[in-house]
Amino acid sequence: MAFLASPAASVPGRVLGVEEEIRGMLVEGVPDLYGRVDLLTEDADALVVTDIKTSRGKWSQEQVEDSGEQLLLYSHLASEISPGKKVQTRFLVLTKTREPVVEEHVREVEPGNVKRTLAGVERVWRAIESGVFYPAPSTVSCASCGYRTACRAWMG
pLDDT of amino acid 149: 83
Reduce the DSSP state of residue 97 to 3 states and report it: coil
pLDDT of amino acid 40: 95
Dihedral sign for Cα atoms in the order 151, 26, 43, 46: positive
Reduce the DSSP state of residue 110 to 3 states and report it: coil
pLDDT of amino acid 115: 94
pLDDT of amino acid 118: 95
pLDDT of amino acid 145: 81
pLDDT of amino acid 6: 86
Reduce the DSSP state of residue 46 to 3 states and report it: strand
* Beta strand 86-95 pairing with 101-108: antiparallel
Nearest to residue 20, comparing CAs of 44, 65, 51? Answer: 51
Supply the DSSP symbol for 99. Answer: S
| Domain spans in the chain, listed from the N-terminal domain onward | 2-153
pTM: 0.81
Instruction: Answer for the pair 33, 77: CB distance below 8 angstroms, yes or no.
Output: yes
pLDDT of amino acid 2: 82
How confident is the chain (156 residues) per 10-residue block, as mean pLDDT?
A: 84 92 94 94 93 92 88 91 90 92 91 93 91 76 79 78
Domain 2-153 is found in CATH 3.40.630.10: no
84: region left, alpha or beta (phi > 0 left; psi from -120 to 50 alpha): left
